Amino acid sequence: MNATPTTTTTDAAGRPVRLGLRENWLQFTLLVIVNICVGGLVGLERTTVPLIGSETFGLTSDLAVFSFIIAFGLTKAFTNLAAGALTARFRRKQLLVAGWLLGIPVPFVLAYAPSWGWIVAANVLLGLNQGLSWSMTVNMKIDLVGPSRRGLATGLNEAAGYTAVGVTALLTGYLATSYGLRPVPELIGVVFVAAGLALAVLSRHFDRLAQQPPGPSRRPGWGRHACRARAVSSSSARTAVSRVCAGDMGSASDARGRPWRAGRLCRADAVAGAADGSSHAPGDPR
């Protein structure tokens, strides 16, 4: 029989939930739209902000003009690094909403900033928004479809986000030629923030799925190591191994003259001793 097993988990109320793209297509689509908003907020500044730096604030140094990208990149990198640890303390949905709350000031600061420092500060907030919102949307999609479809979930997430970056950059460029560099092109970001925050609040996530302890190890070869450790737990085998660990080269012939085999046997002896709750010094045959 080639029947495909059904993967299930439970929601916050303890009700069984089936995992899969078809079973959760509505929530999955909602999260794709959320990530479109995340990408749109990034694309908001890609075309106009460098020109604002040089033409509006009179910056002449390329390093100064592109300092907003440095601020954004560093902030997002450290936020991505911290996001994994934060998921152990907070729900993914809480982090997603927090990311959007941090992004609320961004379009207004870009549109009305009185100095370049405000633009750089807005990009710090944008980096926090991206690090939390983008990371959480992809993780929540993987949780919805299950581990067997995580590649598809990640691909759809990245495609939606980066398509939004490109389309928004094109749109802001068009608006800038018609209405000027500020504030019209930046204020379309208000739509992205409002939609992203609203959909993040409406999104549903199976938090118990993320909190479930990992199942038994499936690493290849683990069964062989476990069997070897159990075999060494016998009294006669442990005696022979202890002689090898104690440096009895006469017993080293059991390892066929290979020191690495002797080392593995010594480690297996230690594992076996820990497994049955006993302890003994190397070389002690008990």
- C-alpha–C-alpha distance, residues 150 and 139, integer Å: 9
213 has pLDDT over 80 = no
- What mean pLDDT is predicted for residues 229-249? 48
pLDDT for residue 11 = 52
Q: pLDDT (tens digit, 9 = 90+) per residue, 10-27?
A: 555 565 667 888 888 888
Q: Kindly indicate whether the domain formed by 17-211 is annotated with CATH number 3.30.360.30.
A: no
**60 backbone φψ class: left, alpha, beta (φ>0; ψ -120 to 50):** alpha
Q: pLDDT (tens digit, 9 = 90+) per residue, 39-79?
A: 999 999 999 999 999 999 999 998 899 999 999 999 999 99
Q: How many other CB atoms are found less than 10 A from the CB of residue 217?
A: 8
Tell me phi and psi for residue 265, to 5 degrees.
-65, -40
93 has pLDDT over 80 = yes
pLDDT for residue 242 = 53
Are residues 130 and 39 in contact, defined by beta-carbon separation less than 8 angstroms?
no
96 has pLDDT over 60 = yes
Q: pLDDT (tens digit, 9 = 90+) per residue, 216-231?
A: 444 444 444 444 444 4
38 has pLDDT over 80 = yes
Q: How many other CB atoms are found less than 10 A from the CB of residue 27?
A: 18
Q: Which residues of 95-104 are buried (b: 16+ CB within 10 A; e: fewer)?
A: bbbbbbbbbb
81 has pLDDT over 80 = yes
- C-alpha–C-alpha distance, residues 123 and 39, integer Å: 14
Q: How many other CB atoms are found less than 10 A from the CB of residue 213?
A: 4
pLDDT for residue 252 = 44
Are residues 49 and 110 in contact, defined by beta-carbon separation less than 8 angstroms?
yes
pLDDT for residue 160 = 95
Q: pLDDT (tens digit, 9 = 90+) per residue, 113-152?
A: 999 999 999 999 999 999 999 999 998 998 888 888 889 8
pLDDT level of residue 249 (50, 70, 90 thresholds): very low
Averaged pLDDT score across all residues of the chain: 77
Q: pLDDT (tens digit, 9 = 90+) per residue, 161-209?
A: 999 999 999 999 999 999 999 999 999 999 999 999 999 998 876 554 4
Q: Which of these, 93, 103, 104, 171, lies nearest to 137 by C-alpha position? A: 93
Tokens read off for 208 = 């118990």
Gyration radius from the chain CA atoms: 28
**3-class SS at 247?**
coil
Q: Which of these, 245, 257, 226, 225, lies nearest to 286 by C-alpha position? A: 245
**3-class SS at 9?**
strand
- C-alpha–C-alpha distance, residues 73 and 123, integer Å: 9
Furthest-apart CA atoms within the chain: distance in Å: 89
Q: How many other CB atoms are found less than 10 A from the CB of residue 8?
A: 13
- What mean pLDDT is predicted for residues 256-276? 47
DSSP 18: E
Which residue ranges make up each domain of the chain?
17-211, 222-275
Q: Which of these, 131, 125, 126, lies nearest to 86 by C-alpha position? A: 131
